[in-house]
Amino acid sequence: QNGMWTKITNNVVKNLTITISDGYNYDKKVILSSLVGQNIEELLNIIDTLHLNNVEIKYELNDYNNKDIIISQSISGEIRRNDNVKFVVSLGKKEELIDVSMIDLTDYELFDAILFLEKNGINYETKYEFSETKMNKVIKQSISAGENVAPLTDKIIITVSKGFITNTLYLTAYC
């Protein structure tokens, strides 16, 4: 054995199957309870615990629920980890919104960046481009960290990495 490679001398390899894990089995079924009336933090814990990877969270103005309370949920019960699940969360009352000091979103995962923007009532647009940064990470933003942003009025453009232009796997066989 030489490092990770093994030289095969007497045997001929006819078929070689390589399995590269991409993480959790997103086809696995899990039970998602109704989270309506719960705080957003409970939802974030459930997303992490159940390894859900297709969750959309939208915030909207609401005069009846406090900020960060889940108003609606598109599906509950038995779902696959990759099923699309949509949540609507209360932004609170319009008159209670205050300007936000923008944070540096670069290197944030797209989900986390959008959650910050939604949670603060900041309008946004998402653009994508290839880069040397891991896919789905924010690589640029149009409003600098530290600038004040008016909720519901100002708009930020975040640019998200599509990853490398090419991903090539080279295998060397010694026979």
Contact of 68 with 119, CB cutoff 8 Å = yes
What is the predicted pLDDT for the residue at 89? 98
What is the predicted pLDDT for the residue at 175? 57
What is the predicted pLDDT for the residue at 78? 98
Edge-first strand order for the sheet with 155-161 is: 123-129, 155-161, 138-141
Scanning 51-132, the segments in alpha helix (DSSP H) are 110-119
What is the predicted pLDDT for the residue at 26? 86
What is the predicted pLDDT for the residue at 149? 98
- Give the helix, strand, coil percentages of the chain, each rounded to 5: 15, 30, 55
Give the closest residue to 133 by CA, choosing from 101, 110, 100. Answer: 110
pTM of the model: 0.80
Per-residue pLDDT of the chain (175 residues; tens, 9 = 90+): 444 544 455 556 666 677 776 678 989 999 999 999 999 999 999 999 999 999 999 999 999 999 999 999 999 999 999 999 999 999 999 999 999 999 999 999 999 999 999 999 999 999 999 999 999 999 999 999 999 999 999 999 999 999 987 656 666 666 5
What is the predicted pLDDT for the residue at 11? 58
Q: How far is CA 81 from the centre of its chain?
A: 13
Which DSSP helix (H) or strand (E) runs through 60? strand 55-61
What is the predicted pLDDT for the residue at 2? 42
Handedness of CA 69, 37, 41, 86 (dihedral sign): negative
**CA 164 – CA 129 distance, rounded (Å):** 9
Bridge partners for 127 per DSSP: 159
**CA 35 – CA 70 distance, rounded (Å):** 7
